[in-house]
């Protein structure tokens, strides 16, 4: 048993950590101390000095105070005083002025000094020595000679730190550790995030649950001959929670978690990226079992050979080669699981995506209706809400929003409520936040004439009227003629999140989009540039239906889209087919435009009422449109889904209540009966009456 345990430990790569000796800087400190000591001794041990004028100097020499005179070539003298006369000159004791106190004096010329000294020697006033020397500033010389060297060394270290990424993890702040990994390590129990913190993404959480189970109970899989999954690739649009899901996997498994970005491997020095990959996996093997998470792996995992002009010795390719070797090479990475995230899986190298490296791809999609409700529930917890907030409406009004977008909506709503001095966040704040994010900031100060305002009102009323009268058009929420962003007006809908879209549904949406231009032509008599965005959307939709979806009468069941020919510069069809596509797109748009005009002619009275109401109020809601045209006879897809989910929740709640009642009933009987089946208090009538009921 002990032998098996030891073998398992060895297979997991838990090797003893080798202590690499670091550079010893003691010699540098000793050298600096020696330099300062030399400067101390060469400067006479810090003896006192005093500067005097030439007259005072002559008096000192005449009185016999001078013991030694040193004359320098810059007409400067140093006069060393006899020990018995130190008090007379410096007015201090000898022990306070140092071993060799001196007096400095500036003279006019050396000839005058020589004559004076000769006279004093003849008179017997000066019996000391005279020394002629060159003036040398050792400290200044050393300082000015070493300063450029120190400056360039400091500049070099600064540049190397900046190029190496600065104070990253793993000792990357040291220039000599530029090849160390910058991965951030989260130990067990620190910043623990679980699946409860990840709202929605039920399918993705189910797929990564197997990884969590393996990290918790690896023997359950190894006993059956299964192998450890090497890695999983999280793919999805930005903001869908790929990084959060990876952290939740580490938190659920309660294992160390290495987090690093793909760009952290890329460096200007040759071989640094490969070195960081090796160091990362070395650290991971020491912490096994653990998880390595590489965010934005497309920065280092791009397909090789796409840019031949860079040459074959590309640093990024070397880093990728080392990563491929570490993930599935001759070495053993037992207990190390790699998670990676990207939103550009199409540009990754095929060798990186094969089984044995990334065994599975987990698609983290944008949240659907029910998942958005869960995400809103998470982000609404810290907010103070009032009773008007409808989570179902918010979830329906934010199709295509990612988790990050929903978090932004909640934050923006709180800011809007605080701006209006509110005590809580209401429904209007959330609607304003969604409008702010989707459409832009309101521009109520933009000046418009009455004719322009009427034209915009007729345009937006055309959209609202046609969409209200068509079965498959998106349900209307509100219409506004207040300028917002680059738009002069807008109609807000609840887009249908369909899994399958029919031709009839797309034609209805196209007709509703053309309703604004049709209203301008019918009720104003001329068209404007306000429908440019509508025409762009309609044109793209028509070409997509014909060339991609095969929804044309003359070109049925044909798709000219190819996902593999990404860099193709030629059309997959002939010029004659291109002309047919153009003609079919034009015919389709003209048919829906004529259809929109016919609907507006039939309901011109209601349309004019709606436009007039828009001019008066500037903002109208679906309730106002319902008063004019009546209630829509069609139920939206979102309402059907919400009704089905509420029905399922009610059924589950009822079944749970029934199970609870069934469990409690025998417990009550056991508590009420004695040993012989008679009530403990002897009241048999009560039990009979209860049973009869």
Measured CA distances, 680 to 157, 543, 683, 685, 690 (Å): 89, 83, 8, 13, 16
* Number of alpha carbons in the 13 Å side-chain half-sphere of residue 341: 23
**Cα–Cα distance between 623 and 609 in angstroms, integer?**
14
Enter the DSSP assignment of 21: P
* Tokens linked to 447: 């000046």
Which residue has tokens 């009102």? 457
Give the H or E element holding residue 212.
Answer: helix 202-216
SS3 498: coil
Whether residue 50 contacts residue 104, with contact meaning beta carbons closer than 8 Å, is answered with yes
Residue 664 tokens read as 């409690």
Q: Which residues contact 543 (CB under 8 A, 6 or more apart)?
A: 581, 585
Element (H, E) at 572: none
Q: Is 525 helix (H, G, I), strand (E, B) or coil?
A: coil
Q: Which of 460, 509, 520, 584 is catalytic?
A: 460
- Mark whether 616 is an active-site residue: no
Tokens found for residue 201: 């993404």
CA 530 to chain centre: 37
- Which residues touch 415 (CB under 8 Å, ≥6 apart)? none
Backbone angles phi, psi at 68, to 5 degrees: -155, 140
Which two structure tokens, joined as six digits, stand for 279?
Answer: 């160091």
CA distance linking residue 201 with residue 206, whole number of Å: 9
3-state SS, one letter per residue, for 30-76: HHHHHHHHHHHHHCHHHCCEEEECHHHHHHHHHCCCEEEEEEECCCE
What does the alpha-carbon distance between residue 460 and residue 591 come to, in Å, rounded to a whole number?
21
* Beta-ladder partners of 363: 235
Q: Looking at residue 196, what DSSP letter applies?
A: G
Q: Taking Cα atoms as reference points, which of 510, 655, 522, 532 lies closest to residue 585?
A: 510
Strands 619-621 and 476-480: antiparallel
Residue identified by tokens 């605080």 is 418
Cis amide linkage into residue 289, ω under 30° from 0: yes
8 Å CB contact between 652 and 495:
no
Strands in 66-72's sheet, in edge-to-edge order, are: 49-52, 102-106, 76-81, 66-72, 129-133
Which residues are marked as active site?
460
């Amino acid at each position: 048993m002990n032998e098996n345990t030891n073998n398992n430990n060895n297979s997991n790569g838990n090797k003893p950590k080798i202590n690499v000796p670091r550079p010893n800087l003691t010699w540098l400190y000793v050298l600096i101390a020696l330099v300062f000591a030399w400067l101390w001794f060469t400067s006479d041990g810090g003896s006192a000095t005093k500067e005097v004028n030439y007259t005072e100097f002559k008096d000192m020499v005449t009185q016999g105070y001078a013991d030694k005179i040193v004359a320098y070539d810059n007409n400067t003298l140093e006069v060393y005083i006899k020990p018995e006369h130190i008090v007379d000159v410096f007015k201090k004791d000898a022990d306070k002025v140092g071993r060799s106190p001196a007096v400095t004096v500036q003279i006019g010329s050396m000839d005058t000094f020589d004559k004076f000294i000769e006279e004093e020697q003849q008179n017997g006033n000066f019996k000391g020595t005279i020394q002629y020397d060159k003036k040398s500033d050792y400290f200044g010389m050393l300082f000015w000679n070493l300063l450029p060297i120190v400056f360039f060394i400091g500049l070099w270290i600064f540049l190397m730190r900046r190029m190496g990424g600065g104070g990253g993890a793993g000792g990357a702040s040291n220039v000599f550790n530029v090849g160390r990994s910058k991965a951030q390590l989260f130990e067990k129990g620190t910043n623990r995030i679980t699946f409860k913190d990840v709202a929605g993404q039920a399918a993705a959480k189910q797929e990564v649950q197997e990884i969590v189970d393996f990290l918790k109970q690896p023997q359950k899989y190894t006993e059956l001959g299964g192998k450890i999954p090497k890695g999983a690739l999280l793919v999805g649009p930005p903001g869908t929670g790929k990084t959060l899901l990876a952290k939740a996997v580490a938190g659920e498994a309660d294992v160390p978690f290495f987090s690093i970005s793909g760009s952290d491997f890329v460096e200007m020095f040759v071989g640094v990226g490969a070195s960081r990959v090796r160091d990362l996996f070395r650290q991971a093997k020491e912490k096994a079992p653990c998880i390595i998470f590489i965010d934005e792996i497309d920065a280092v995992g791009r397909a090789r050979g796409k840019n031949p002009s860079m040459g074959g010795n590309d640093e990024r390719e070397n880093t990728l080669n080392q990563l491929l070797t570490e993930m599935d090479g001759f070495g053993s990475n037992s207990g190390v699981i790699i998670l990676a995230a990207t939103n550009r899986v199409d540009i990754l190298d095929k060798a990186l995506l094969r089984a044995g490296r990334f065994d599975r791809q987990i698609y983290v999609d944008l949240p659907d209706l029910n998942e958005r409700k869960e995400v809103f529930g998470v982000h609404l917890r810290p907010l103070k809400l009032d009773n008007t907030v409808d989570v179902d409406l918010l979830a329906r009004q934010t199709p295509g929003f990612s988790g990050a977008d929903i978090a932004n909506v909640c934050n923006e709503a709180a800011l809007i409520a605080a701006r209006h001095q509110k005590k809580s966040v209401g429904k209007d704040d959330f609607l304003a936040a969604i409008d702010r994010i989707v459409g832009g900031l309101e521009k109520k100060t933009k000046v418009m004439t009455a004719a322009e305002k009427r034209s915009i009102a007729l345009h937006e009323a055309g959209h609202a009227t046609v969409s209200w009268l068509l079965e498959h058009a998106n349900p209307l929420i509100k219409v506004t003629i207040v300028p917002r962003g680059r738009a002069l007006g807008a109609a807000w809908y609840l887009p249908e999140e369909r899994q399958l879209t029919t031709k009839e549904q797309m034609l209805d949406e196209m007709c509703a989009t053309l309703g604004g231009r049709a209203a301008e032509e019918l009720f104003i008599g001329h068209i404007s540039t306000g429908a440019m965005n509508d025409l762009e959307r309609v044109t793209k939709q028509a070409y997509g239906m014909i060339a991609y979806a095969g929804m044309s009468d003359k070109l049925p069941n044909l798709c000219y889209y190819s996902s593999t020919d990404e860099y193709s510069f030629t059309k997959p069809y002939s010029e004659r087919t291109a002309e047919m596509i153009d003609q079919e797109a034009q015919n389709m748009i003209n048919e829906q435009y004529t259809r929109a005009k016919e609907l507006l002619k039939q309901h011109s009275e209601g349309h004019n009422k709606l436009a007039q109401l828009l001019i008066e109020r500037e903002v109208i809601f679906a309730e106002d449109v319902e008063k004019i045209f009546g209630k829509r006879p069609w139920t939206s897809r979102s309402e059907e889904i919400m009704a089905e989910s509420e029905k399922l929740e009610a059924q589950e709640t009822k079944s749970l209540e029934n199970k609870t009642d069934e469990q409690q009933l025998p417990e009550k009987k056991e508590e009420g009966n004695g040993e012989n089946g008679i009530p403990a208090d002897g009241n048999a009538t009560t039990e009979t009456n209860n049973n009869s009921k």
